[in-house]
Every structure is written in C-alpha cells, then in structure tokens.
Structure 1
Amino acid sequence: MKKLRVLMVAPAPFPGNRGTPSRILDMSLGLSHLGHEVHVVSYHLKTDTPTNGITVHRIPCVPTYTRMGPGPSFQKLLVLDSLLALKVWKVASQIDFDIIHGHSYEGFLAALPTARQKKKKLIYDAHSTLFDELPSYDFINIKSIASFLDRKVPEWSDHIIAVSETLKDILLKKGIDDSKIAVIPTGVNVRQFEGRDPLIIRRKHNIPAHLKIVMYTGSLANFQGVDYLIEAMALVLQKFPDAVLLLVGNSNMQKYVDACRNMGISGHVVITGDQPFQDIPDYLAAADVVVSPRTVCPGVPQKLANYMASGKAIVGFQGSAKLVTHLESGIVLENGNVTEMAEWIIRLLHNPSLANRLGSSAKWSLLGKYDWITLSRKVQDVYYGLLTH
C-alpha cells in the first residue's frame, strides 16, 4: 500500500497534557509507526512529551496566550486559530499532502480553506458537539451558532471520524450519511503504564503508606464534574477516614481549594497542579481507586483509557464511562448520584481483591481494541478508502 503524507491540524498546545492533544499525538505516532509521513500544525505552546517520528509546525509565538487547558476565548478564536489557518496554508503550499485531518471544530475550520483551494480530502475528527460543550465554559453561549456548526462542519467534511457511537448517533440524527462516518475511539499505549513504582508519587507528595488514594487525573474545568467527586469524598471520609483524594490537574485550582475547605476535607485532598503526561502512569500506579465524575461526554475521555490501561478500579458516571461494563471492568453509576459514588469508593477501598479484579479486567479489555496501533490501522483504512473513491 502507498505510504501517505498526512497533515494533522491540532487547535491546541501540542503535545499537551489533556485529551485532544494526546489523541492527536498517539494517532500521529501510530500512523508514523505504520510508515506514513505525518506532519502536525499546532499552537506555539507545548509540553516536553517526545514527538519522535513526526514533524511539528507551530504558529508564531503569542506571548500573551499561555493557557494549556481547554476552552474557548476571544484571543484563541480570533488570533490563534487565524494564525493556525495561515500556518496550514503555508505548510500545505510547501509540501504536497495526500490527506488533511482536522481535529475538533477549530482544527477543521482552520484547514477548510486550504483543503478546498488545493483540492485535498479533508477529514473532520469529531471529539464532541459544540452545543453540549460551550455551556461548560465561562464564555459566550450562542446556541444558534453552536447548532449551525454542529450541523454544517460534518456536512463540509469529506469524511468524519467520531470518537464514540454516541457521537455517531448524534451525527446520524443531523442527517449525515452513515457511510460518511467511522467510529474510532480514543485509545492508549498500554505499555506506557506497565512496571511503574507506586511509591514514587507517595514520596513526592508525602502520603503515608496507610492512607488509601482516590484519584482523578485531567482537566479541572467545570464540565468535568469534579464538584461531584469532592462531595462524594466528603461522604467517603465520614466512613473511611484513612483516605486521601489526589486531583491531578491545574485549571480551576482555587475553586476546588475553596470547595474542599468549605467541606472540611482540605487535610485529605492534594491538588497537584499540571503534571507532564509522562508522569501520569506513575500517578495512576499509586492509586487505589480512580474516578470519572463527568456526566455529559459524547466522546470518550482520554483519562478513561488511561485509567483502564493502569489496571485500576474505576468508578464513573454513565455519561463518561462508555468503555466500562458495570461490575465487569469497573463501576458505572447513574449520572450525578454522589451517594452511590461514595458508597462504591468505600466498598472498593475495603475490598482490594474486588478492586484488583475490576482493574485487571478493564486493562485486558483494551488490548486489540483500544490500543493505538490497532486504532491507527483503522485511521489508515479511512484514508485509503477516501482516496480510492
């Protein structure tokens, strides 16, 4: 098969310690492993995560924009995304690409003028719906614009890769033809999570050996449901005081510091700030129970795949625990049921054998289905199919 030259468009810091840039990086590395030449156009910001095997083209530095977390702003939309579109044009004018692959709305729209002018096939990688996501941020919420883009962006694309069956169903209801949509979920490289020392993080944060660790990793943005987790942890500590909650993330930190203080649990909560992705496997190795408290998520959170790869017991709400089967590979709860969340966390802390069984089952359920080599082959098949027709 022909080796392809692929242009990924990443409307985010790249690499980055959250879902969208992680998906783009792992997909790009997987395609590179299959022999394709992959280029990524991204914002100026980055972490130190290696990008060996792919070529990254960044927009010019915007000194006043330092945000690594998700969410819109006028500067992001008007300045960074305009620079992203110009960079896509410049790179595509220098290199003849076979496929342009735009991630999320901003990545797709930044690539659209170039793809049309140069007559290149353009893929829309759909991570969520704008109508559902916008209200979660402290930003203007113009429902008419969100609905318009939710409808038109998929129509304008040559093909769509959706991260979940839920998102595919939403697209089908908007009139998108089934043959135009491929479901390729967020995956994980399981080997990154193996052989980690659980004592590294206990030493780093001075957590005594007798304390059980309940953990959340990822963005602390409002839509992630961390409020539910903090409320549940207050209930957990009433019956299981030898526990500590680790929140591994950085946005909204002061909000949650205040929330923990108001609930009287500050002494049992550690908010670590942003951590490089290469350290996340060490954090998860130290956990006894991991939690996914998000209630609305048309896609699949990267943190969920990471949790599963770590082999830890997962407690999550239905809205975000899409890869988990209740009582087989984790605990899946009714959205927003804080009491039940607390009860299951307590039960798993008391029963390590059950926690280990669920975690092991979650890890093995990934293999051959959600590892990035398997998923990258599916992306490759989408490319070949699109170029053949």
Structure 2
Amino acid sequence: MLTGRRGDFVARPETHGGPLRIAMVAACPFPYPRGTPIRICRMAEALSRRGHDVEVISYHLGDTGEPLPFRVHRIPELSFYRRVEPGPTWVKLLALDPLLSRTLRRVLADRTFDLVHAHHYEGLLAALAVPARHRPPVIYDAHTLLGTELPFYRLGPGTRVLRRFGRFLDRRLPGKARHVVSVTDEIRDRLIQTGAVEPHRITVVQNGVESLLFDVPPAPTETKTVVFAGNLASYQGVEHLLRAVRILLDRRDDLRLRIVTGTDLGPHAELVRSLGIGSHVDVVLVGFADLPAHLRAADVAVNPRVECDGIPQKLLNYMAAGCPIVSFAGSAGYLEHGVTGWVVSNGDVEALADGIGHLLDHPRLARGLGEAARHLVVNRYSWDRTAEKVEQVYTAILGDPGGRGEGEAARAVRRRKDRPLPHLTVSRTPRLDGGWADGSSGGSPAR
C-alpha cells in the first residue's frame, strides 16, 4: 500500500474492472426538478443501479424529502440564501462555491475515491480548487457553453462583456479536467474548434429521460391547450411565446396557454398584462410528479428557447410524453422538422405563432409528430444508456497508466480506513451560525 503525507490523495487498488467510487459535484440545488440537477440525479441513480458507489456533494438547497440510493453531502446551511433559480449570482460565486469546494475536500479526505465527476463550470471550479495532491482525476461534465449562456444573466457587465468573458472561460477551463463529457455534439465540436480540449479528451454523453413516467392519463382540459413546462429564467425565451400567443388570439379565441412551472410569472407578469392575454394564460405550480399529466394534455408543447448548446430537459420530457412540439431551431436538439416536431427560425415570433396554429388546425399531423418523437426517445435515450456511456469513460481513464492522478503530486499519498456507506442518507452539515442544517442542535454530523 502506498503511504504519504496526511491529507494527500491515494489511488485505490485497481478497480476499473469492477465497482467504482465516484464523488459527484453538483453546484446547484439538489435534487431539483430542472435540467442540471436532473442530469446529475438521474446519472447518479443509474450509476448506483450498475453497482457503483456514488456520493454527491451539493448546495444546502434542494428537495431533501426525496429518498435517494446514494449519499448526499451538503454545504453548511446559509439561511439567508434560498434562491433556487438557475444561473450565477455573486453570493453563489463568493460564498456557496467556496463552501462546496471545502465540503468536497472534506469528503475526499474521509474516504478514497476513484474519480471526481464535476458538473457545469461551477462544479469544475469547486473541484479544481482542491489541490491536485488531495484529489483523484477530475471529469468535467459540460452541460452548456458560457459564451452562449452568460449574456442572459444580470451580473452587472453588459451582454457583450459577458459573452466575451464566457468564451474566455470556455477556452480556458475545460482542458484543466482529466477528461470532458459533453451533453451534445455541438458542445464537443465547439470546445475542440476553440482549442479548449483535444479530440481524444472529450466524449459525448447525452441526457436520458424516464419514458415510463409519462405513461399517465392527461390532465383535464376544456379547450385547445398550448403548454410550456419549465423554469422561467430569461434564457428560456418565454417572452417570445407570450407574444406568439397574442398573435394567435388575434386570429382565434379557442386556445389557452398553460405554463407549468415551480414559481410565479415574476417579470413576465407585466408582459402578460401589457399584451392583454391574462384571461387566456394559466400558471400551474406543480412538482415533477404532476408534470407528465399536464404534458399529456397538451395539444401543442412549445420550446421558445433561442439558443442552447445542450439539450433542454423540457424537450426530452415533451418528447417522452408524446407532445406535438413547436421549437425554435437554436434549441431544437433531436427534433427533425416535419418528422418529430415543427421547427421554426430562431427568434421569429410570427413563425412560432404560425407553427402552433398549424398543429392546432391539423391534429392528425400533430399526433403523428408526437408519436414519432416519443418513439425516438423511448428507443434511444434512457438514463441507463447514459450511465453505460459514462462508465465507459471512467473505465478508459482509470485504465490509462496516467489516469489515476494528475501529475506526480497525485501519486504521493494517504489512505484512511473506509467506513461502511449507509444508503438513503443525507449527511448533516454544520450551519454557519453553529446549529445544524436540519434545524437540530448538538451532536456530531452524520457521516
């Protein structure tokens, strides 16, 4: 057995032919019903089903009532920060992410892991902040590109500055990981073209979807129903959909827009009022468990996002539910126009309205598109397939003679006695005010 200084990383004995121990970094509320947390959660679940030992390190926020087949370590409770919407904030960057890195380092010191699987840029930064000699190789899971996404957030600098800074990070950060996993071919191609990573160091691993969950009766409706399901962040393009509904209502009065989400309309409420469409818009606040019934009730489901380097999880959900889909081209993902969906030009609100109206007027065509979309995802995109591809990446890295560390420092080492891993547990972590994340006091954190 290798020995070394206290706190240094030690590689486990050769395990790439059997179960692996993975530290998965989730710089987000976890679990939570939107794209990034869903990918992390379903991937971890599927890897656990395949016999691997997964532990997730995440923020203090999330649906802690959901039983999980893996352990979750949370950062200390920050009672003043309850924001669950996507995107960076200064509090996340200056407080949550450093705490995430500190929690990861504690977890890595406590048990010996084969790999760190870091999701999104903030997860990667948290992993890289742990000195190389204290951690195993890092895999970066690229869900999107910052050059595309950052301009949608209000961080102070203007859109142009954020776009340039995002592109700079896209070029500089991914290559610092041992290997990169990308959600789409588009992300892979862009990272290679910009020199961010060499072709042999990046692998496409697409999202899956839980198709069986969408085999449910539809929710009741009394009129033609157009559905949008997802969060209401600015990058979603909800304003385009609202304007398209205004155009449609000038032509017909037999439709309602149903927005299925987890929050109120927020800044979109004023646009709804100014367009005069409030009497035709329903906001339905539900969790993921109730989502399938609302999607099954859709005469048309709309994806109004203009740009997405990854695959919107809502799109896969629409497809799994067999929804007739109208989407802008920039985020259409797996959709093929006239075969599995109706794809229109980016940002063209008139074309979006025309597409919705066309499918409402041609229900046989709409049903055919929805059935074809569902057939595609059922046969090609499952989380078990996603986990199988990720497992192949893990095995390739650990089978590489240089894959068990990042430089000589990663070979210098310590090993502590492993403790049994209880399933269905969430570790208790101390709050900054001296209490515990679950509201209790005294005692010691659950390990």
Fold match by TM threshold 0.5:
yes
The 5-angstrom pairing of residues 73-92 of structure 1 reads 73-92=89-108
Asked if structure 2 preserves the Cα contact closer than 8 Å seen for 1:216 and 1:246, the reply is: yes
- Correspondent of 1:259 among 267, 271, 276: 271
Between the aligned partners of 1:341 and 1:298, the Cα distance in structure 2 is 20
Alpha-carbon distance between aligned partners in 1 of 2:112 and 2:385, rounded to the nearest angstrom: 27
> Out of 147, 151, 154, which is 1:131 matched to?
147
1:60 equivalenced with 2:80 (yes/no): no
Q: Equivalents in 2 of 1:48, 1:352: separation in Å?
A: 41
- CA spacing shift, 1:18–1:49, aligned 2, 3 Å: farther
Q: Check whether the contact 1:19–1:301 (CA below 8 A) recurs between aligned residues.
A: yes
Instruction: Supply the distance in 1 between the matched residues of 2:133 and 2:384 (Cα, whole angstroms).
Output: 32
Instruction: Please tell me the residue identity of whatever aligns with 1:367.
Output: V
Asked if the contact 1:221–1:251 (Cα under 8 Å) also holds between the matched residues in 2, the reply is no
Give per-residue Cα distances to partners, 1:196-218, cap 9 Å, x unaligned: 1213xx4xxxxxx4311111111
**SS state of the match for residue 307, structure 1?**
helix
Residue in structure 1 matched with residue 114 of structure 2 by the alignment: 98
Give the counterpart of 1:228 among 240, 243, 246.
240
For residue 388 of structure 1, what is the amino acid of its counterpart?
A: G
Give the deviation of 1:164 after TM superposition: 0.8
Question: Alignment partner of 1:332: what SS?
Answer: strand
Which of these residues, 155, 159, 162, is aligned with residue 179 of structure 2?
159
Partner-residue secondary structure (3-state), 1:114: coil
Which one of the candidate residues 322, 327, 330 is aligned to 1:311? Answer: 322
Aligned partner letter, 2:184: S
Mapped to 1, the partners of 2:293 and 2:82 lie a distance apart of 26
SS in 2 for 1:14: coil
TM-score in terms of structure 2 length: 0.82
Matching residue within 351, 374, 379 for 2:390: 379
Identity, % of aligned positions: 40
Equivalent position amino acid for 1:225 in 2: G
In 1, Cα distance between equivalents of 2:379 and 2:45: 17
The answer on whether the counterparts of 2:264 and 2:283 sit within 8 Å (CA) in structure 1 is: no
Greater length-normalized contact order (CA 8 Å, ≥ 6 residues apart): 2
Extract unaligned runs of 5+ from structure 2: 1-16, 401-447
Structure 2 CA distance for aligned equivalents of residues 361 and 300 of structure 1: 18
The residue that corresponds to 1:177 in the other structure is 198
Q: Deviations over 1:121-178 (max 9, x none)?
A: 1001011111221110111345454333211211101000111111111101121211
After superposition, where does 1:296-335 map in structure 2 within 5 Å? 296-335=307-346
1:122 equivalent in alignment to 2:134: no
Q: Deviations over 1:283-338 (max 9, x none)?
A: 21221110111111111111111111111101000111111011000011110111
- Tell me if 1:189 matches 2:205: no
1:213 matched to 2:232? The reply is no
Q: Number of aligned residue pairs: give it.
A: 379
Contact 1:313 1:358 in 2 (8 A): yes
| Distance apart, 1:88 and its partner CA | 0.3
CA distance in 2 between counterparts of 1:364 and 1:116 reads 45
RMSD between aligned residues? 1.6
Larger-gyration structure (1/2): 2
**Does structure 1 residue 364 correspond to structure 2 residue 385?**
no
What is aligned with 1:206? none
CA distance in 2, matches of 1:139, 1:211: 41
Counterpart in the other structure of 1:248: 260
Q: Displacement of 1:39 after TM fit?
A: 0.7
5+ residue gaps in structure 1? 203-208
Please say if 1:150 is aligned against 2:150: no
Q: Pick the structure with more helix per residue.
A: 1
- In 2: Cα distance, 1:342 partner to 1:115 partner: 52
Contact kept? 1:49, 1:278, Cα under 8 Å: no
Secondary structure of 1:319 counterpart? helix
- Structure 1 pair 266/50, CA: closer, same or farther in 2 (3 Å)? same
* Alignment TM-score, normalising by the size of structure 1: 0.94
* Contact 1:224–1:293, Cα closer than 8 Å, also in 2: yes
Residue identity matched to 1:62: L
Deviates more, 1:255-264 or 1:15-24: 255-264
The residue that corresponds to 1:349 in the other structure is 360
Q: How many Å separate the matches in 1 of 2:378 and 2:18?
A: 27
Q: Does 1:270 align with 2:282?
A: yes
Which string of whole-angstrom CA distances, capped at 9 and with x for unpartnered residues, describes residues 209-265 of structure 1? 431111111111111111110011111222231111011225672322211111111
